[in-house]
Amino acid sequence: MFIFYHLYCNKQVIHYVECLDRYFGNVCELDIIFNFDKAYYILDEILIDGKLQETSQRIILKSITTQDSVIDNSPDSRDYAI
């Protein structure tokens, strides 16, 4: 049972790294450091409460790009500061 769990965790880490690689294009440590929020959001799309939510890299990346476009099109909150 322990071996199965270890292999399952290893497979999920590989899946996460592949998603990061597809999003950032040849991901490196600096991509994760300077874009921690996006790396965390990708992880959140894959896992929820420690359980697998989504396995399709295409769906995960589509969700991330949709979020990026919403953020790019939203007005900056600093413009409305009093």
Q: What is the pLDDT of residues 57-80, one digit of tens each?
A: 999 999 999 988 888 887 765 555
Query: End-to-end alpha-carbon separation of the chain, Å?
Result: 58
Q: Where are the alpha helices (DSSP H) in 1-82?
A: 2-24, 29-34, 36-46, 57-73
**Which fold is adopted by the domain 2-65?**
Beta-Lactamase (3.30.450)
pLDDT at residue 24 in the model = 93
Task: List, for residues 25-37, the tens digit of each pLDDT value.
Answer: 999 999 999 999 9
The ranges assigned to domains in the chain are 2-65
pLDDT above 50 for 81? no
Among the residue ranges 8-22, 41-55, 66-80, the one predicted with the least confidence is 66-80
* Contacts of residue 42, Cβ cutoff 8 Å, sequence gap at least 6: 16, 19, 20, 23, 60, 64
Is residue 41 within 8 A of residue 64, CB to CB? The reply is yes
Non-local CB neighbours of 61 within 8 Å, separated by 6+ positions: 19, 22, 23
Q: pTM to 2 decimals?
A: 0.78
- The mean of the pLDDT values for the chain is 86
State how far the Cα of 22 lies from the Cα of 24, in Å rounded to an integer: 6
